[in-house]
Each structure stands twice: as C-alpha cells, then as structure tokens.
Amino acid sequence: MSVIKIRDKQFKVSIPEAEIKTRIKALAAQISKDMEGKNPLFLGVLNGSFIFAADLMREMTIPCEVSFVKLASYQGTISTGKVQEVIGLNEDLTGRTVIIVEDIVDTGRTMKQMMESLGTRRPASLHICTLFVKPSKLEEPIDIDYAAFSIPDDFILGYGLDYDQAGRYLKDVYTIVESKENSMKNIVIFGAPGSGKGTQSDKMIEKYGLNHISTGDVLRSEIKKGTELGMTAKGFIDNGQLIPDDLMVSILASVYDSFGREHKGVIFDGFPRTIPQAEALKQMLNERGDSVAAMIELDVPEDELMKRLILRGQQSGRADDNEETIKKRLVVYHSQTQPLIEWYKKEGVHYHIDGLGELDRIFADICAVIDSI
C-alpha cells in the first residue's frame, strides 16, 4: 500500500478516482430524473466542493445552473458563539429548486446553518447533495437527499477535500493512516506464574521486532551496571524490602527511553503486578505520548499451572517451584495481580487468550490480537 505524507500526517488511498466518478454519474442520473423540468440551481460550497460540483455538472442530463457560495466564520455574541454566514450569493432564490453541493457532511452543523440561511430566501425547495457523509458523526437532524458515499469516521482528503488547505489536488480520496499502522505497540503480557509468558514473549519479539522489559532482568542489569538507580534498588533488596513502585517505574522509564522514539513497541513482562503499578506505568507512557495498546492475558487453569510449575521445578531445580511455594505464589497472583484484568478491561485494551493447548495455536491467537491493534 502506498502511503503519502501531507503535512505532518500519513494518508493512503481509500476510494480510487474511478469509483468516485462512477458514483457521481449515478447520483447525477438520479438528480436528473428527480428534477426534470425544474431547472435546478446547484450551489457549491467553496472550497471543498469545487471538483465534485464540476464532475456532477458534467454528468447532468437536464438543464441546470451552477453557482458557488462561501461560508465566512465570525465570532457572534457570547451566547451565539461562532456564527457562519453565507457569502457570495448573487442569485435570487425565490421559487427556485436549490441543491446545495457539499464535499462532506460531518457533524452537519455547516449544512444546518446553510439550510436555515438559504431557507429565508424563499426557494421552492432546498436539497442537500454531498459527496461524503459520516453518519456516525452527525449531530444535527438534517435531511440529506443525495450522498455519494457514506464513510466511517476517519479523516479523509483529496478530490477537493483538504487537510489544512493541503491535498485538494489529489485525484483519489485518501484516508488518514491510523496511528495503529505507524505507532508503537506496547504490550503487557499477563498471566499467572507458569502461564507461558516467557515462551510467548520470545516468539512475539522475534516476529514483531518488539523490545522486551522483564522487571527481574532489568533490576539485575541495573545493579550489575552500578547505575544510580541500580544502587538505590540494591539498597532496598539488601534490606529485604520490596522496591517501591515509583522507583521501579523510573527504572522502567530509563530502559524504555533507551529504545529511542522510533521503536516498534515494548513487551512488559512481570510488570505491572498491582493496580497502582498499572497506573504508574500508564502515567509514565502518557508523559511520552505513548500508551499500552494491549494487555494480553494468558489464561491457564490452576491445575495445569501446578503441573507445569512442578515439572519446571524438577527440571530446573528452582527452589521456589515446589508445591508449597507454588501455591503461595498463585494465591498472591489471585489476590493482587488478577484485579488488573478488570482494570485493563476498563481501559479498553484487555485481550483474553486461552493459554491451554498447542503452543502454536496460542501464538496464532496472540498474533491476531497484535495485528488488530
């Protein structure tokens, strides 16, 4: 897909010229049929409608006229706020069939004001013909007689439509490339001990070129490097204390910043473990204009977790992988960590993955999530 840059934003073709022309032709045929014998006056709203109006005219098969108006915004009284006035109208509208030609109807405020303003000039009838309408954004109850395309609520340009005056000349219509295609994908990988976070993280890093922050690894490396943060952390650890959340977050922040501004995203593994930590992480990312795009929960039943951890204990000899301590760790997980699921659901970024079964199937499910964010 070819992406173009207009000012500070990226755009890609969403409706090719040929498709627009076809729709305009059909619209003109419809209007020609409906307005037969009425010599309609098309009133194009400048600047956006100039290309659409020109195309529409040339497809009309009945006699008609065309003129253009502009909308001038000025500040009214405090109660009326910003007011738009129709300027440049030279025609007498009395008894005429008038069709307003607009590029795009968004909230509908512009069209509502146009209808009110032109309505006072006694036309026989007043209609709206727009190239685009965003139905989900309509706030005003207006009747749109003719619309070539109903489109989703994404910013578009080209074919007369602009982004800050730029891009009107483009032949096709372009849609802004959503941040999901050009921004980083920060992911919290989440699940009980033994749920497969490490295994799946490795696969995600390899496939998507993501960075990985595991809090345990970070702490060990900061301490080893003897950084100031590492030394402070070591002080807490040596005293048998837990590292306070704010210290943990500043350590995470320094690692996060070390990836630069262009990274593809970071997998947070083992952090956050509590709601205050999740809030601190959110704030840290917000301060950088970033966010968590997905919290991926690997859901594995308790008895399976026990089996996996006991097996891991036997194979690795890890002292904390015996039945007693495993049970304790799972209790801590349920009481402190699991409430994060609800927290991330409220944030709208929680994704549940069935963590029981084939490794590849689980990874495929994770990929589907990553590809969708």
Which residues of this chain interact with ligand IMP, rule CB under 6 A? Answer: 48, 102-110, 155-157, 161
| Pairwise CA distance, residues 299 & 194, whole Å | 10
Q: Using alpha carbons, select from 114, 85, 87, 103 the residue that is nearest to residue 163.
A: 103
Output 103 or 245, the one with its CB closest to Mg ion: 103
Nearest approach, Cβ of 136 to Mg ion (angstroms)?
A: 19
Active-site annotation holder among 96, 134, 197, 308: 197
Is 58 a known active-site residue? no
295 binds, among Mg ion, ligand IMP, none (CB under 5 to 8 A by kind): none
Active-site annotation holder among 38, 273, 282, 345: 273
| Pairwise CA distance, residues 293 & 275, whole Å | 17
Is 312 a known active-site residue? yes
Active-site annotation holder among 203, 264, 312, 345: 312
Nearest approach, Cβ of 51 to ligand IMP (angstroms)?
A: 13
Nearest approach, Cβ of 200 to Mg ion (angstroms)?
A: 48
370 binds, among Mg ion, ligand IMP, none (CB under 5 to 8 A by kind): none
Question: How far, CA to CA in Å, does 237 sit from each of 220, 234, 269, 276?
Answer: 11, 5, 20, 20
Which range binds Mg ion by CB under 5 A, 42-50, 175-183, 197-205, 337-345? 42-50
Nearest approach, Cβ of 55 to ligand IMP (angstroms)?
A: 17
Residue 82 structure tokens: 């910003």
Any contact of residue 48 with Mg ion (CB under 5 A)?
yes
What is the DSSP secondary structure assignment for residue 137, as one 8-state letter?
Answer: G
Q: Are 89 and 69 in contact (CB under 8 A)?
A: yes
321 binds, among ligand IMP, Mg ion, none (CB under 5 to 8 A by kind): none
| Pairwise CA distance, residues 169 & 190, whole Å | 48
Is 261 a known active-site residue? no
Which range binds Mg ion by CB under 5 A, 29-37, 40-48, 60-68, 92-100? 40-48
Burial (Cβ within 10 Å: 0-12, 13-18, ≥19) of residue 127: buried
Is 273 a known active-site residue? yes
Residue 153 structure tokens: 């609520």
Output 70 or 109, the one with its CB closest to ligand IMP: 109
Nearest approach, Cβ of 103 to ligand IMP (angstroms)?
A: 5
Residues in the chain: 373
Active-site annotation holder among 58, 207, 318, 328: 318
Output 135 or 301, the one with its CB closest to Mg ion: 135
109 binds, among Mg ion, ligand IMP, none (CB under 5 to 8 A by kind): ligand IMP
Which range binds Mg ion by CB under 5 A, 22-30, 45-53, 285-293, 362-370? 45-53
Nearest approach, Cβ of 243 to Mg ion (angstroms)?
A: 56
Output 48 or 230, the one with its CB closest to ligand IMP: 48
Neighbouring residues of 176: CB distance < 8 A, sequence distance ≥ 6: 9, 10, 11, 154, 155, 156
Biggest CA–CA distance in the chain, Å, is: 92
Q: Are 82 and 91 in contact (CB under 8 A)?
A: no
Output 134 or 308, the one with its CB closest to ligand IMP: 134
Any contact of residue 160 with Mg ion (CB under 5 A)?
no
Q: Using alpha carbons, select from 228, 205, 207, 225 the residue that is nearest to residue 217.
A: 225
Nearest approach, Cβ of 103 to Mg ion (angstroms)?
A: 5
Is 21 a known active-site residue? no
Burial (Cβ within 10 Å: 0-12, 13-18, ≥19) of residue 139: exposed
- DSSP letter string over 29-95? HHHHHHTTTS--EEEEEETTTHHHHHHHHHH--S--EEEEEEEEEEE--TTT-EEEEEE---S--TT
Residues with a known catalytic role: 197, 273, 312, 318, 329
